[in-house]
Amino acid sequence: MAYECFNVEIKDKVAHVQLSRPQAMNSMTRGFWRELPQIVRSIDREGTARAIVLSSTGKHFTAGMDLSVFASGPDLSSKEPGRARANLMRLVLRLQQTFSCLDEARVPILAAVQGGCIGGGVDMVSACDMRYATRDAFFCIQEINIGMTADVGTFPRLGYCMPQGLARELAYTGRRLKAGEAAACGFVNALFDDHAELLDAVTGIAVDIARRSPLAVWGSKEMLNYGRDHTIADSLRQIAVWQTGMFQPADMKEAFVAKSEGREPAFEDLAAIDEEF
């Protein structure tokens, strides 16, 4: 499919989803908010890709929310205030789901960031499994600089990606977190000299993930996310429940046989999801 804001390609079991509006610094227009969940859910539903690389084009990863989004939408000025505010709550929840779909996908999402990752960009990459960046990259919770509270996913997730004190400092001051500091605090996994090197390395990591059992990778993501959101005791019980149903011998047998035969294992794709059922 042709998209307004993205290029999409699937190769070697890896889906590459790339922001494609460099002339506008990949700002997040209405089309962006509509298309990203469509793309991610479609890839997740089909089950043939085993990892997703989320990257961008041009000098900057994204400038965040496009101002046109604030100006668009129905005119609710004549509505009773409570009803108008209730509509706004529903809009925010819908925008949040645009990035929550990254968290909820069955496959890992790897963000490859160059230049500025601003405002909504921080919300987006915080929902990814891993983040990689060029040495000139920076991250900014821009919302505080324009007099609002970030509301699309930064705050529930950022404190799990870096120390709480640093997350709060960035939230309260709106200063730029440069790539070196982002790597030092663990928010970014690794740094690269330029965009080409970044994409080559991140794609390589995604291909490496795609060689593993997709069911085992999905289970690992499920358990990591569950552990983030629950107690250790609850998480131990959850992994026991997961293994009771999902741990089957076929993938383990294939891994051992492939190793003994000196070849790459050939694991079955995840089953497609029938969302119309």
pTM: 0.94
Question: 3-state secondary structure string, the chain?
Answer: CCCCCEEEEEECCEEEEEECCHHHCCCECHHHHHHHHHHHHHHHHHCCCCEEEEECCCCCCECCECHHHHHCCCCCCCCCHHHHHHHHHHHHHHHHHHHHHHHHCCCCEEEEECCEEECHHHHHHHCCCEEEEECCCEEECHHHHHCCCCCCCHHHHHHHHCCHHHHHHHHHHCCCEEHHHHHHCCCCCEEECCHHHHHHHHHHHHHHHHCCCHHHHHHHHHHHHHHHHCCHHHHHHHHHHHHHHHCCHHHHHHHHHHHHHCCCCCCCCCCCCCCCC
Per-residue pLDDT of the chain (277 residues; tens, 9 = 90+): 799 999 999 999 999 999 999 999 999 999 999 999 999 999 999 999 999 999 999 999 999 999 887 676 778 888 899 998 898 899 899 999 999 999 999 999 999 999 999 999 999 999 999 999 999 999 999 999 999 999 999 999 999 999 999 999 999 999 999 999 999 999 999 999 999 999 999 999 999 999 999 999 999 999 999 999 999 999 999 999 999 989 889 999 999 999 999 999 999 999 999 876 5
- Write down all domains in the chain, each with its CATH number in brackets: 6-210 (3.90.226.10), 214-261 (no CATH)
